[in-house]
């Protein structure tokens, strides 16, 4: 299997879209400070708390989605490779027995 095919199976189009969500989460987390809506040196206001919380959730959830898909896909690839190896071994043994 080629590297491109492996990458396509590990990172589907949905994961690319989740990367966008991850980037949005980063922006949400830093936006109160970047837009200076959070007064410096004071307790966080409600919008800052919301933005930082939701931004963190977005980052964590999208990363979890991407990584879990990658993990499951990797497990499937390993299983397929193992099954292929076993089938080749069985065919080789059958051929050698037939030759005897």
Partner 1 sequence: MSVTRPSLGKYICGMVASLAVFLAGGWLILAPFALGYQPYGADWVSQTTNDFVVGICVAVVALISFALFFFSLLGSLRASGVIAARPRRAVPAPVETAPQAAAAPAAASNQSDLDRTLATLAQALAADLNARRQTGGDAQSNQLTEQHITNRRDA
Of 1 and 57, the one with the shorter C-beta distance to partner 1 is 57
> How many Cβ atoms are within 10 Å of 28's Cβ, its own excluded?
19
> Would you call 18 exposed, middle or buried from its count of C-beta atoms within 10 A (0-12, 13-18, 19+)?
buried
For helices 13-34 and 46-99, what crossing angle results, to 10°? 160
Is the Cβ of residue 76 or residue 94 nearer to partner 1 in the bound state?
Answer: 76
65 binds partner 1 (CB under 8 A): yes
| 2-61 binders of partner 1 (CB under 8 A) | 12-15, 17-18, 20-21, 24, 27-28, 31-32, 35, 37, 45-47, 50-51, 54, 57-58, 61
């Amino acid at each position: 299997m080629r590297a491109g095919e492996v990458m396509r199976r590990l990172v589907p189009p949905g994961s690319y879209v989740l990367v966008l969500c991850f980037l949005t989460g980063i922006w949400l987390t830093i936006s109160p400070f970047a837009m200076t809506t959070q007064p410096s040196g004071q307790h966080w206001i409600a919008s800052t708390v919301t933005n930082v919380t939701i931004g963190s959730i977005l980052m964590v959830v999208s990363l979890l989605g991407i990584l879990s898909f990658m993990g499951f896909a990797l497990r499937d690839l390993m299983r397929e490779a193992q099954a292929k190896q076993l089938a080749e071994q069985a065919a080789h043994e059958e051929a050698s027995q037939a030759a005897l």
